[in-house]
Chains A and B, each alone.
Chain A
Amino acid sequence: MEQPTMGAMQMTFDDKKESKPASGAIKMSARDVKVFYGDAEAIHGVNMDLYENEVVAFIGPSGCGKSTFLRCFNRMNDTIDIARVTGEILLDGQDIHDKKLDVVQLRAQVGMVFQKPNPFPKSIYENIAYGPRLHGLVDNKSDLDEIVETSLQRAGLWKEVKDRLDSPGTGLSGGQQQRLCIARAIAVSPEVILMDEPCSALDPIATSIIEELIDELKGSFTIAIVTHNMQQAARVSDKTAFFHLGDLVEINATREIFTNPQDSRTEDYITGRFG
């Protein structure tokens, strides 16, 4: 839908980003990461660094491996029987595949928001409270109440739901459900949040609310977001990574990618010649 208009490069960039200092420390890094589904190699050795307080957008045509690669960062590929990941992924310099590191601990540090809003079929309160309670982050009810409130506030949902915390999370609208999922993810205070096409099931208004939210959240988190929507990548991200057929073709500052792509495949894709 959006591709045909891309030729003119009528894209809106968030110029505040440009003035922001070029980020601090490396939060996560991937070195020569390959993913196999059975015998088929889906990702062919990707290197990438995620910097603190930075939003990186993964773009690329369907089936290029961007979601698969994103799921490497919190080892969600472990849940797929036939998937196998090789290479090294570091979180704060520590290998996440290290036997000593429990995957549960990793996922508490690297949260995830999924493509389709997937709140638990429980109350709004229970949705948020589940993570903190699971990890034993709170000692008493009032602490838990506070976490629920702040998480919902940060996800911009508090005003809408504060009077009905006991009603089911599945009864909210699609956009609200996705913000509930974001609130649920940030309730366990992760350091990195992975978002797998978080707006693909949402209407434009809900999408813009989520995009604003991402912009606010990057003050405290490192965010990696997979998106099909190139305007969205342009609007929310500091850096954009273009994937194609399992390769990371190009990663650069978002403005650079969209105005001055180094690789012809990137240029073809963002101008809508394929994808």
Chain B
Amino acid sequence: MNMEASNTESTSLPDQTDLAKKRDLMQQRVSRSLKRRHNQETRFKLMGMAAVGTALAFVLLLFVTILSKGLPAFWQAHISLEIYFDEEIIQIDEKPVRMVNESEAAFNQRMLAWQTQLGFVNFNRIILDAISKEIPEARDYQRDAMRLVTSGERFGLRNMVQEDPSIIGTSQRLWLLADANVDVWMKGNINRELGDAQQQLSARTRDWVDELEAKGVLKNRFSTALFMNPDSRSSLASAGLAGAFVGSLMMMLIVMFLAVPIGVASAIYLEEFAPKNKLTDLIEVNINNLAAVPSIVFGLLGASVFILWFKMPLSAPIVGGLVLTLMTLPTVIIATRSTLKAIPPSIRSAALGIGASKVQAVFHHVLPLAIPGILTGSILGIAQALGETAPLLLIGMSSFVASVPGTPFEQSTALPVQIYLWQGNELRNFFEARTSAAIIVLLALMISLNAVAIWLRKHFETRW
């Protein structure tokens, strides 16, 4: 300060040594602060790296646990049996063939009667016969023997006969799905030291399992049951995801075809055409608020509006899809609006200046540039909807549904709800792995959705 004053006073004679000193002092200060700044920078970088590292570690942990728990569920215990379709046991008429001049109704009636007859056949006896070929004393301990094969397999055999009655009287070696408890025992998912009272299988069955496994009759094989079957409570080993998967798929399609067009259209209108006034301000605030509403509230809304008022069916994907659409709309609108906002106004001016109408300017020039952003926003919204559980619980989609829905109006469940149901199953030893397997399927679906989003964005971006 002093120097500055003296400098201005005696500009004709600046003090050279003073100036040099001042410069030195400044240099020192700068170099000192420089060190501090470098340290600060290094610290910040390290903290950032640590944060990223921690996040990655947790993600890795998640994936490792889920994969290590879930992957074994894709391989299930199977038992190889020589099945003889005994004509003594399967005493049924010939499969009806439609005759000339026969009406369809009449034929269906005859077919139904035949199927009912087939339904009365005791396929358990066929399975028991087959088991007794491997274990001679099985006949004396039927209950213990029948615990080896999951109860759903008798319907598998029945379906084989129904498809092709000519197999009656022949025999073939089949891999049948073993009971869930056999699977648990073989994989060591239950403590083998526990006493009989705490074991799910009788001591005799456990011995047989060990014996058959040693012979190679019982084996872990890749199973499609998880993908092909709907949920089951009587035959746990054949419980699958098919119903939930199809239900989720239907809901996703509904969300895609409702939320994306409606959301994008409202965003375009609000952003490009709507006058800026109190009303549109209010709408904007409300859309932003809706995006933050807890999803379970949308479930309540769906239950009271779609089910109680519109009398739509309970547990149906159509209702789930509509609820998820309502939930996804704000996300799509906000993403689309922010994308449209980011398109430089010069593009609009250019189009308008050459005589394009407002609609033409938007659809010819603004929208094509906004497509990557809109797609990303939409797909993220859909992925979020796919993983949503809470609203679905309130519209009855958490009920046990043992069929694959054929239309969106039939009862169904959804993947995340199925995960929720399975993780609460009483047979935890078996369903822990199955739950993780269901999570793997859900994650795979989401990752592929996001991959599609990334691909689409790249595809539309690389054009210019």
Binding site for B on A (CB under 8 A): 74, 76, 79, 81, 104-108, 111-112, 114, 116, 118-122, 130-131, 134-135, 168, 170, 181, 184-185, 188
- Besides A106-B355, A120-B347, A131-B355, 15 new A-B residue pairs in contact (Cβ under 8 A), listed by A number: A104-B357, A107-B353, A108-B354, A114-B346, A114-B349, A114-B350, A116-B346, A118-B344, A121-B347, A121-B464, A122-B464, A130-B356, A134-B360, A181-B350, A184-B350
Q: Which B residues are CB-close (under 8 A) to A185?
A: 353-354
Docked CA distance A271–B349 (Å): 34
* Shortest Cβ distance from B349 into A: residue: A114
6 contacts between A and B (CB under 8 A): A104-B356, A112-B353, A112-B354, A118-B349, A122-B464, A134-B355
Question: How near does chain B come to A227, taking the closest CB pair, in angstroms?
Answer: 18
Docked CA distance A107–B354 (Å): 6
A79 lies within 8 A of B348 (CB): yes
9 nearest A-B residue pairs (beta carbon): A118-B346, A112-B353, A107-B355, A108-B355, A118-B350, A131-B354, A121-B464, A104-B355, A168-B464
* Shortest Cβ distance from A112 into B: residue: B353
Check: B275 CB closer than 8 A to any chain A CB. Answer: yes
Question: How near does chain B come to A60, taking the closest CB pair, in angstroms?
Answer: 22
Q: Which A residues are CB-close (under 8 A) to B347?
A: 118, 120-121
Check: B95 CB closer than 8 A to any chain A CB. Answer: no
Check: B351 CB closer than 8 A to any chain A CB. Answer: yes
Q: Which of B330-387 contact A (CB under 8 A)?
A: 344, 346-357, 360, 364-365, 369
Docked CA distance A184–B356 (Å): 13
Given contacts A134-B360, A170-B464, contact A111 B369 (CB under 8 A): no
Binary contact readout B308-348 vs A (1 if CB under 8 angstroms, 0 otherwise): 00000000000000000000000000000000000010111
* Shortest Cβ distance from A170 into B: residue: B464
B354 lies within 8 A of A74 (CB): no
Q: Which B residues are CB-close (under 8 A) to A76?
A: 349, 352-353
Q: Which A residues are CB-close (under 8 A) to B365?
A: 120
Binding site for A on B (CB under 8 A): 275-276, 344, 346-357, 360, 364-365, 369, 464
Q: Which B residues are CB-close (under 8 A) to A181?
A: 350
* Shortest Cβ distance from B344 into A: residue: A118
Interface centre among B346, B353, B357, B364 (most CB of A within 10 A): B353
Given contacts A118-B346, A130-B364, A168-B464, contact A79 B354 (CB under 8 A): no
Docked CA distance A116–B344 (Å): 11
B351 lies within 8 A of A120 (CB): yes
Q: Which B residues are CB-close (under 8 A) to A130?
A: 351, 354, 356, 364
Q: Which A residues are CB-close (under 8 A) to B346?
A: 114, 116, 118
Q: Which B residues are CB-close (under 8 A) to A135?
A: 355
Q: Which A residues are CB-close (under 8 A) to B354?
A: 107-108, 111-112, 130-131, 134, 184-185, 188
The B interface, classified by DSSP as helix, strand, loop or mixed, is helix
Question: How near does chain A come to B269, taking the closest CB pair, in angstroms?
Answer: 15
Question: How near does chain A come to B345, taking the closest CB pair, in angstroms?
Answer: 9
B350 lies within 8 A of A107 (CB): no
Docked CA distance A131–B346 (Å): 16
Docked CA distance A105–B357 (Å): 10
Q: Which A residues are CB-close (under 8 A) to B464?
A: 121-122, 168, 170
Docked CA distance A188–B355 (Å): 9
Q: Which B residues are CB-close (under 8 A) to A120?
A: 347, 350-351, 365
* Shortest Cβ distance from B360 into A: residue: A134
* Shortest Cβ distance from A135 into B: residue: B355
B275 lies within 8 A of A81 (CB): yes
Question: How near does chain A come to B124, taking the closest CB pair, in angstroms?
Answer: 70
Question: How near does chain A come to B50, taking the closest CB pair, in angstroms?
Answer: 40
Question: How near does chain A come to B406, taking the closest CB pair, in angstroms?
Answer: 46
* Shortest Cβ distance from B277 into A: residue: A81
Docked CA distance A119–B369 (Å): 13
Interface centre among A74, A79, A170, A184 (most CB of B within 10 A): A79
Interface centre among A121, A168, A170 (most CB of B within 10 A): A121
B355 lies within 8 A of A105 (CB): yes
Q: Which A residues are CB-close (under 8 A) to B355?
A: 104-108, 131, 134-135, 188
Question: How near does chain A come to B238, taking the closest CB pair, in angstroms?
Answer: 55
Q: Which A residues are CB-close (under 8 A) to B348?
A: 79
Docked CA distance A134–B350 (Å): 13
A119 lies within 8 A of B350 (CB): yes
Q: Which A residues are CB-close (under 8 A) to B356?
A: 104, 130, 134
* Shortest Cβ distance from B357 into A: residue: A104
* Shortest Cβ distance from B276 into A: residue: A81
* Shortest Cβ distance from B358 into A: residue: A79
* Shortest Cβ distance from B369 into A: residue: A121
* Shortest Cβ distance from A184 into B: residue: B354
Q: Which A residues are CB-close (under 8 A) to B275?
A: 81
Docked CA distance A131–B350 (Å): 10
Docked CA distance A117–B362 (Å): 19
Question: How near does chain A come to B354, taking the closest CB pair, in angstroms?
Answer: 4
Question: How near does chain B come to A214, taking the closest CB pair, in angstroms?
Answer: 17
B350 lies within 8 A of A74 (CB): no
Question: How near does chain B come to A116, taking the closest CB pair, in angstroms?
Answer: 6
Docked CA distance A90–B3 (Å): 67
Question: How near does chain B come to A13, taking the closest CB pair, in angstroms?
Answer: 31
Docked CA distance A106–B348 (Å): 17
Question: How near does chain B come to A150, taking the closest CB pair, in angstroms?
Answer: 17
Question: How near does chain B come to A181, taking the closest CB pair, in angstroms?
Answer: 7
Q: Which B residues are CB-close (under 8 A) to A114?
A: 346, 349-350, 353
Docked CA distance A187–B146 (Å): 86
Q: Which B residues are CB-close (under 8 A) to A121?
A: 347, 369, 464
Docked CA distance A170–B464 (Å): 9
Question: How near does chain A come to B347, taking the closest CB pair, in angstroms?
Answer: 6
Question: How near does chain A come to B384, taking the closest CB pair, in angstroms?
Answer: 30
Q: Which A residues are CB-close (under 8 A) to B349?
A: 76, 79, 112, 114, 118
* Shortest Cβ distance from B365 into A: residue: A120
Docked CA distance A104–B365 (Å): 16
